[in-house]
Chains A and B, each alone.
Chain A
Amino acid sequence: MLILECPYCGVKACETELSPGYEAHLKRFGPGSTDAEFEDYMFARKNPKGVHFERWRHTYGCGKWFLAARDTNTLEVFGTYPAQSSAPPEDLQAKIKAKRPDWKGYK
């Protein structure tokens, strides 16, 4: 039962107050995209053992979507940040790199 701090309201929310939204930082491909691009957007999801970026919604709280970086193996949470981010914040990336030197980056 995870705890994730909502970056909007600051509540350290229990997993039961949240809804999962799966992989973060996906780029939408609409009309005009190739089959390969669309397939990748729609279906190809990362499933790493280790550092992962996810979408979560503070459903039972402020209702806002946010993003979380955590280790899927140890469940260590590196940080949470607003959904209105096209990439993880620099300082968060640096923190993860320091803790997981083998990490290859969020892309």
Chain B
Amino acid sequence: MSNAVSALGNVSYNGFAQISEIGPIGMISLRAKPDVKGLDKAIKAAVGTKVPAARQMEGAQERFAGWMSPDEYLLVMPYADTGAAMAAIDKALKGQHYLAAVVSDARAVFRVTGEKADQVLAKLSPVDFANLGAQELRRTRAAQVAAAFWRDDSGYTLVCFRSVATYMMGLLSHSAMTGSEL
């Protein structure tokens, strides 16, 4: 899609941690109960992972499946892949009660990297980072808006609503200002 742009055009900020807005990234919201027949196949076909357990994020690199609630999963993939993934999900879950919707464009995605990346988020979210699981997908708030994040070796990937991308960038930059390390 030549016209697709991320919310902030991939801006970045360097403080004691590095903030960059990335994307657009493909995302599908899949609502189904874990025991629905074909769910494992649908997720496997869409992003190549198993069905994530509660609060877990399965996958690596560009393809993930995250547990959002007892009947909701977030599937993450390259932006251009959502069409094929939707088709695969529809095929695998045909006849079952489910809802799949592309939400790539409803989201803004940020990377927060650096040794002290967790400190940036600890200023915004009531989350105990010392007890955050290595594969945990944590849904919470960042200051006044909803956010979800998970960590990897170099930092965190944070997802929020697209309309508040500017606000989120402001929050993250403010929190990452050099000299304000915790």
Chain B contact residues (Cβ within 8 angstroms of A): what range? 10 to 19
| B146 lies within 8 A of A62 (CB) | no
Q: Which residues of B contact A14 (CB under 8 A)?
A: 126
Report 21 cross-chain contacts, Cβ distance below 8 Å, ordered by A residue: A8-B54, A8-B69, A8-B70, A9-B54, A9-B55, A9-B69, A9-B70, A9-B139, A10-B54, A10-B55, A14-B126, A16-B126, A16-B141, A17-B126, A17-B140, A17-B141, A59-B146, A60-B146, A62-B68, A62-B69, A62-B139
Interface set of A (CB-CB < 8 Å, partner B): 8-11, 14, 16-17, 59-64
Q: Which residues of A contact B70 (CB under 8 A)?
A: 8-9, 62, 64
A8, B72: Cα distance in complex, Å: 12
Residue of A nearest to B69 (CB): A62
A22, B68: Cα distance in complex, Å: 25
**Could you list 6 further interchain pairs (A-B, Cβ under 8 angstroms) beyond the known A10-B54, A16-B141, A62-B139?**
A9-B69, A9-B70, A61-B139, A62-B69, A63-B69, A64-B69
Identify which of B54, B55, B139, B140 gathers the most chain A CB atoms within 10 Å of its CB: B139
Q: Which residues of A contact B139 (CB under 8 A)?
A: 9, 60-62
A16, B147: Cα distance in complex, Å: 13
Residue of B nearest to A82 (CB): B70
Q: Which residues of A contact B68 (CB under 8 A)?
A: 62-63
Q: How far is the CB of A56 from chain B (nearest CB, A)?
A: 15
A62, B136: Cα distance in complex, Å: 13
Q: Mark B123-154, 1 if CB is under 8 A from A, else 0.
A: 00010000000000011110000100000000
| B55 lies within 8 A of A11 (CB) | yes
Which of A10, A60, A64 has a CB less than 8 Å from the CB of B140? Answer: A60
Q: How far is the CB of B52 from chain A (nearest CB, A)?
A: 12
Q: How far is the CB of A9 from chain B (nearest CB, A)?
A: 6
